[in-house]
Structure 1
Protein backbone atom coordinates (compact mmCIF):
# COMPACT_ATOMS: atom_id res chain seq x y z
CA UNK A 1 0.00 0.00 0.00
CA UNK A 2 2.87 2.34 -0.77
CA UNK A 3 0.78 4.57 -3.04
CA UNK A 4 -2.11 4.90 -0.61
CA UNK A 5 0.20 5.71 2.30
CA UNK A 6 1.96 8.37 0.23
CA UNK A 7 -1.24 10.32 -0.56
CA UNK A 8 -2.99 10.33 2.83
CA UNK A 9 -4.09 13.80 3.87
CA UNK A 10 -3.57 15.18 7.40
CA UNK A 11 -6.17 13.65 9.73
CA UNK A 12 -7.01 10.89 7.25
CA UNK A 13 -6.53 7.27 8.25
CA UNK A 14 -7.05 3.93 6.53
CA UNK A 15 -10.24 2.06 7.49
CA UNK A 16 -9.75 -1.00 5.29
CA UNK A 17 -7.41 -2.34 2.64
CA UNK A 18 -8.82 -4.30 -0.29
CA UNK A 19 -6.77 -7.02 -1.95
CA UNK A 20 -7.27 -9.26 -4.93
CA UNK A 21 -8.21 -12.75 -3.78
CA UNK A 22 -5.82 -15.67 -4.30
CA UNK A 23 -8.33 -16.95 -6.88
CA UNK A 24 -6.40 -14.86 -9.45
CA UNK A 25 -3.82 -17.69 -9.41
CA UNK A 26 -6.38 -20.25 -10.67
CA UNK A 27 -5.13 -20.24 -14.28
CA UNK A 28 -1.54 -20.82 -13.15
CA UNK A 29 -2.58 -23.66 -10.86
CA UNK A 30 -4.69 -25.31 -13.59
CA UNK A 31 -1.80 -25.13 -16.07
CA UNK A 32 0.54 -26.64 -13.50
CA UNK A 33 -1.83 -29.55 -12.91
CA UNK A 34 -2.21 -30.15 -16.66
CA UNK A 35 1.57 -30.04 -17.12
CA UNK A 36 2.12 -32.55 -14.32
CA UNK A 37 -0.54 -34.87 -15.74
CA UNK A 38 1.13 -34.73 -19.16
CA UNK A 39 4.51 -35.54 -17.57
CA UNK A 40 3.04 -38.49 -15.69
CA UNK A 41 1.34 -39.70 -18.87
CA UNK A 42 4.66 -39.42 -20.74
CA UNK A 43 6.24 -41.88 -18.31
CA UNK A 44 4.14 -44.73 -19.66
CA UNK A 45 4.89 -44.14 -23.34
CA UNK A 46 7.66 -45.62 -25.51
CA UNK A 47 10.96 -43.71 -25.35
CA UNK A 48 10.64 -41.69 -28.58
CA UNK A 49 7.06 -40.57 -27.98
CA UNK A 50 7.82 -40.02 -24.31
CA UNK A 51 10.45 -37.35 -25.03
CA UNK A 52 8.07 -35.33 -27.20
CA UNK A 53 5.24 -35.54 -24.66
CA UNK A 54 7.66 -34.64 -21.85
CA UNK A 55 8.71 -31.57 -23.83
CA UNK A 56 5.06 -30.56 -24.14
CA UNK A 57 4.57 -31.15 -20.38
CA UNK A 58 7.55 -28.97 -19.49
CA UNK A 59 6.28 -26.30 -21.88
CA UNK A 60 2.92 -26.26 -20.11
CA UNK A 61 4.69 -26.00 -16.74
CA UNK A 62 6.69 -23.03 -18.11
CA UNK A 63 3.38 -21.40 -19.13
CA UNK A 64 2.10 -22.05 -15.61
CA UNK A 65 5.13 -20.23 -14.20
CA UNK A 66 4.48 -17.27 -16.50
CA UNK A 67 0.79 -17.23 -15.53
CA UNK A 68 1.77 -17.28 -11.85
CA UNK A 69 4.15 -14.33 -12.34
CA UNK A 70 1.49 -12.40 -14.26
CA UNK A 71 -1.16 -12.99 -11.55
CA UNK A 72 1.30 -12.09 -8.78
CA UNK A 73 2.29 -8.89 -10.63
CA UNK A 74 -1.33 -7.80 -11.15
CA UNK A 75 -2.05 -8.51 -7.49
CA UNK A 76 1.03 -6.53 -6.46
CA UNK A 77 0.30 -3.42 -8.57
CA UNK A 78 -3.40 -3.21 -7.65
CA UNK A 79 -4.31 -1.21 -4.55
CA UNK A 80 -7.73 -0.44 -3.10
CA UNK A 81 -8.13 1.40 0.18
CA UNK A 82 -10.99 2.86 2.15
CA UNK A 83 -9.99 5.80 4.29
CA UNK A 84 -11.95 8.00 6.62
CA UNK A 85 -12.44 10.54 3.80
CA UNK A 86 -12.32 8.72 0.46
CA UNK A 87 -11.99 5.56 -1.61
CA UNK A 88 -8.70 5.09 -3.45
CA UNK A 89 -8.13 2.65 -6.31
CA UNK A 90 -4.74 2.39 -8.04
CA UNK A 91 -3.53 0.07 -10.75
CA UNK A 92 -0.28 0.18 -12.67
CA UNK A 93 3.48 -0.01 -12.39
CA UNK A 94 5.24 2.20 -14.94
CA UNK A 95 2.06 3.96 -15.97
CA UNK A 96 -0.53 4.53 -13.29
CA UNK A 97 -4.34 4.58 -13.32
CA UNK A 98 -6.03 5.96 -10.21
CA UNK A 99 -9.58 6.73 -9.17
CA UNK A 100 -10.52 8.48 -5.97
CA UNK A 101 -13.98 9.18 -4.64
CA UNK A 102 -14.91 11.21 -1.60
CA UNK A 103 -16.94 9.23 0.93
CA UNK A 104 -19.74 11.83 0.90
CA UNK A 105 -20.19 11.20 -2.86
CA UNK A 106 -20.81 7.44 -2.48
CA UNK A 107 -24.43 6.52 -3.27
CA UNK A 108 -24.38 2.75 -3.81
CA UNK A 109 -22.00 -0.14 -3.25
CA UNK A 110 -22.84 -3.25 -5.29
CA UNK A 111 -21.35 -6.61 -4.35
CA UNK A 112 -21.61 -9.54 -6.76
CA UNK A 113 -20.64 -13.01 -5.53
CA UNK A 114 -21.12 -16.39 -7.19
CA UNK A 115 -21.68 -19.53 -5.15
CA UNK A 116 -17.95 -20.28 -5.30
CA UNK A 117 -17.26 -16.65 -4.41
CA UNK A 118 -19.41 -16.94 -1.30
CA UNK A 119 -17.69 -20.17 -0.29
CA UNK A 120 -14.18 -18.77 -0.82
CA UNK A 121 -15.03 -15.17 0.22
CA UNK A 122 -14.32 -13.25 -2.97
CA UNK A 123 -16.41 -11.24 -5.40
CA UNK A 124 -16.81 -8.07 -7.42
CA UNK A 125 -17.41 -4.61 -6.02
CA UNK A 126 -18.79 -1.61 -7.88
CA UNK A 127 -19.03 1.75 -6.15
CA UNK A 128 -21.45 4.25 -7.67
CA UNK A 129 -21.42 7.87 -6.70
CA UNK A 130 -22.91 11.19 -7.67
CA UNK A 131 -21.67 11.83 -11.19
CA UNK A 132 -19.05 9.09 -11.23
CA UNK A 133 -18.28 5.57 -10.20
CA UNK A 134 -15.37 3.27 -9.65
CA UNK A 135 -15.07 0.54 -12.25
CA UNK A 136 -16.13 -2.95 -11.30
CA UNK A 137 -13.34 -4.43 -9.19
CA UNK A 138 -13.23 -8.14 -10.00
CA UNK A 139 -11.85 -10.84 -7.72
CA UNK A 140 -11.68 -8.81 -4.51
CA UNK A 141 -11.15 -10.69 -1.25
CA UNK A 142 -13.75 -10.15 1.51
CA UNK A 143 -16.11 -7.94 -0.53
CA UNK A 144 -18.77 -7.78 2.21
CA UNK A 145 -16.23 -6.45 4.72
CA UNK A 146 -15.13 -3.84 2.19
CA UNK A 147 -18.76 -2.82 1.55
CA UNK A 148 -19.32 -2.49 5.31
CA UNK A 149 -16.17 -0.36 5.65
CA UNK A 150 -17.40 1.92 2.86
CA UNK A 151 -20.81 2.20 4.49
CA UNK A 152 -19.18 3.09 7.81
CA UNK A 153 -20.00 -0.05 9.78
Structure 2
Protein backbone atom coordinates (compact mmCIF):
# COMPACT_ATOMS: atom_id res chain seq x y z
CA UNK A 1 0.00 0.00 0.00
CA UNK A 2 1.39 3.37 -0.99
CA UNK A 3 1.05 5.85 1.85
CA UNK A 4 -0.19 9.38 1.32
CA UNK A 5 1.93 12.28 2.59
CA UNK A 6 1.62 12.39 6.38
CA UNK A 7 -0.15 9.02 6.55
CA UNK A 8 1.25 6.52 9.07
CA UNK A 9 0.61 2.82 9.60
CA UNK A 10 -1.04 2.10 12.96
CA UNK A 11 -1.46 -1.68 12.54
CA UNK A 12 -0.22 -4.21 10.00
CA UNK A 13 -0.59 -7.94 10.19
CA UNK A 14 -1.75 -11.28 8.85
CA UNK A 15 -4.31 -13.70 10.24
CA UNK A 16 -2.89 -15.58 13.19
CA UNK A 17 -1.69 -19.15 12.70
CA UNK A 18 -4.28 -20.05 15.33
CA UNK A 19 -6.92 -18.55 13.05
CA UNK A 20 -6.29 -21.25 10.41
CA UNK A 21 -6.25 -24.14 12.89
CA UNK A 22 -9.78 -25.15 11.90
CA UNK A 23 -8.57 -25.45 8.29
CA UNK A 24 -5.69 -27.63 9.49
CA UNK A 25 -8.04 -29.82 11.55
CA UNK A 26 -10.30 -30.36 8.52
CA UNK A 27 -7.21 -31.22 6.50
CA UNK A 28 -6.11 -33.70 9.17
CA UNK A 29 -9.51 -35.43 9.00
CA UNK A 30 -9.27 -35.55 5.20
CA UNK A 31 -5.72 -36.94 5.36
CA UNK A 32 -6.76 -39.63 7.86
CA UNK A 33 -9.75 -40.65 5.73
CA UNK A 34 -7.72 -40.79 2.50
CA UNK A 35 -4.86 -42.59 4.24
CA UNK A 36 -7.20 -45.13 5.87
CA UNK A 37 -9.04 -45.87 2.63
CA UNK A 38 -5.79 -46.44 0.74
CA UNK A 39 -4.27 -48.32 3.67
CA UNK A 40 -7.08 -50.90 3.63
CA UNK A 41 -7.76 -50.87 -0.13
CA UNK A 42 -4.22 -50.91 -1.52
CA UNK A 43 -1.37 -51.21 0.98
CA UNK A 44 0.01 -49.82 4.22
CA UNK A 45 2.83 -47.97 2.47
CA UNK A 46 0.48 -46.25 -0.01
CA UNK A 47 -1.87 -45.25 2.82
CA UNK A 48 0.96 -43.71 4.85
CA UNK A 49 2.38 -41.89 1.82
CA UNK A 50 -1.09 -40.54 0.93
CA UNK A 51 -1.58 -39.31 4.52
CA UNK A 52 1.79 -37.53 4.51
CA UNK A 53 1.21 -35.97 1.07
CA UNK A 54 -2.29 -34.72 1.94
CA UNK A 55 -1.05 -33.25 5.25
CA UNK A 56 1.87 -31.55 3.51
CA UNK A 57 -0.49 -29.98 0.96
CA UNK A 58 -2.88 -28.85 3.71
CA UNK A 59 -0.07 -27.24 5.75
CA UNK A 60 1.34 -25.51 2.65
CA UNK A 61 -2.05 -24.22 1.50
CA UNK A 62 -2.91 -22.98 5.01
CA UNK A 63 0.41 -21.16 5.29
CA UNK A 64 0.04 -19.57 1.85
CA UNK A 65 -3.56 -18.50 2.59
CA UNK A 66 -2.43 -16.90 5.83
CA UNK A 67 0.57 -15.09 4.39
CA UNK A 68 -1.34 -13.98 1.28
CA UNK A 69 -3.75 -11.98 3.45
CA UNK A 70 -2.57 -8.63 4.82
CA UNK A 71 -4.51 -6.28 7.07
CA UNK A 72 -3.36 -2.65 7.34
CA UNK A 73 -4.78 0.20 9.40
CA UNK A 74 -3.29 3.61 8.72
CA UNK A 75 -4.19 7.05 10.01
CA UNK A 76 -6.32 7.50 6.87
CA UNK A 77 -7.44 4.07 5.59
CA UNK A 78 -8.32 0.45 6.31
CA UNK A 79 -6.83 -1.93 3.77
CA UNK A 80 -7.29 -5.69 3.17
CA UNK A 81 -5.21 -7.43 0.51
CA UNK A 82 -5.65 -11.10 -0.34
CA UNK A 83 -4.19 -13.38 -2.99
CA UNK A 84 -0.89 -14.24 -4.60
CA UNK A 85 -1.46 -14.81 -8.31
CA UNK A 86 -4.66 -12.81 -8.46
CA UNK A 87 -5.10 -10.08 -5.89
CA UNK A 88 -8.19 -8.68 -4.23
CA UNK A 89 -7.92 -5.35 -2.42
CA UNK A 90 -10.51 -3.74 -0.18
CA UNK A 91 -9.97 -0.25 1.12
CA UNK A 92 -12.00 2.38 2.91
CA UNK A 93 -11.33 5.70 4.54
CA UNK A 94 -11.09 5.79 8.34
CA UNK A 95 -13.65 8.60 8.49
CA UNK A 96 -16.27 6.29 6.90
CA UNK A 97 -16.11 3.79 9.78
CA UNK A 98 -19.32 3.93 11.78
CA UNK A 99 -19.08 0.83 13.99
CA UNK A 100 -16.39 -1.67 14.91
CA UNK A 101 -17.63 -5.05 16.13
CA UNK A 102 -15.64 -8.01 17.40
CA UNK A 103 -16.82 -11.60 17.37
CA UNK A 104 -15.30 -14.62 19.09
CA UNK A 105 -16.94 -18.02 19.24
CA UNK A 106 -16.12 -20.39 22.09
CA UNK A 107 -13.46 -22.08 19.94
CA UNK A 108 -12.08 -18.65 18.94
CA UNK A 109 -11.81 -17.66 22.60
CA UNK A 110 -9.94 -20.86 23.40
CA UNK A 111 -7.59 -20.22 20.45
CA UNK A 112 -7.39 -16.50 21.38
CA UNK A 113 -8.43 -15.31 17.92
CA UNK A 114 -11.46 -13.53 16.54
CA UNK A 115 -12.82 -11.36 13.80
CA UNK A 116 -13.25 -7.62 13.66
CA UNK A 117 -16.09 -6.37 11.49
CA UNK A 118 -16.19 -2.77 10.28
CA UNK A 119 -19.47 -1.10 9.37
CA UNK A 120 -18.77 1.71 6.94
CA UNK A 121 -20.96 4.52 5.67
CA UNK A 122 -22.73 3.81 2.40
CA UNK A 123 -21.64 0.18 1.98
CA UNK A 124 -24.38 -2.20 3.10
CA UNK A 125 -23.28 -5.10 0.89
CA UNK A 126 -19.53 -4.95 1.49
CA UNK A 127 -17.97 -7.47 3.88
CA UNK A 128 -15.13 -5.53 5.47
CA UNK A 129 -13.79 -7.93 8.10
CA UNK A 130 -10.40 -8.80 9.55
CA UNK A 131 -10.68 -12.58 10.17
CA UNK A 132 -8.42 -14.73 12.33
CA UNK A 133 -6.92 -11.81 14.24
CA UNK A 134 -4.80 -12.80 17.25
CA UNK A 135 -5.86 -9.83 19.39
CA UNK A 136 -9.16 -8.32 18.22
CA UNK A 137 -9.03 -5.77 21.06
CA UNK A 138 -5.69 -4.47 19.79
CA UNK A 139 -7.20 -3.96 16.31
CA UNK A 140 -10.14 -2.04 17.79
CA UNK A 141 -7.69 0.13 19.75
CA UNK A 142 -5.62 0.71 16.57
CA UNK A 143 -8.75 1.84 14.68
CA UNK A 144 -9.60 4.18 17.55
CA UNK A 145 -6.06 5.66 17.43
CA UNK A 146 -6.33 6.03 13.64
CA UNK A 147 -9.70 7.77 13.88
CA UNK A 148 -8.40 10.15 16.56
CA UNK A 149 -5.30 10.95 14.50
CA UNK A 150 -7.47 11.50 11.42
CA UNK A 151 -9.83 13.77 13.37
CA UNK A 152 -6.91 15.82 14.72
CA UNK A 153 -5.49 16.22 11.21
CA UNK A 154 -8.89 17.12 9.74
CA UNK A 155 -9.65 19.70 12.44
CA UNK A 156 -6.26 21.42 12.33
CA UNK A 157 -6.16 24.58 10.21
CA UNK A 158 -4.82 23.99 6.71
CA UNK A 159 -2.27 26.46 5.27
CA UNK A 160 -3.51 28.64 2.46
Q: Shorter-chain TM-score: which interval?
A: 0.7 to 0.9
TM-score normalised over the length of structure 1: 0.76
Choose from 144, 150, 153 the match for 2:143: 150
* Structure 1 residue ranges without an equivalent (≥5): 43-48
Measure how far apart 1:10 and its partner are. 1.3
TM-score (norm 2): 0.73
Question: Please, which of 37, 58, 62 is the counterpart of residue 53 of structure 2?
Answer: 62
Structure with greater proportional strand content? 1
Q: Please state how far the C-alpha of 1:87 moved relative to its aligned partner.
A: 0.5
8 Å contact kept, 2:101–2:118: yes
Q: How many residue pairs end up in the alignment? A: 138
1:19-34 equivalences in 2 (<5 Å): 19-23=14-18, 24-28=20-24, 31=28
Q: Would you say 1:77 and 2:68 are equivalent positions?
A: yes
Comparing 19-28 and 73-82, the one that deviates more: 19-28
Residue ranges of structure 2 left out of the alignment (5+ in a row)? 149-160
- Over the aligned positions, Cα root-mean-square deviation in angstroms equals 2.7
Report the 3-state secondary structure (helix = DSSP H, G, I; strand = E; otherwise coil) of the residue aligned with 2:86.
coil
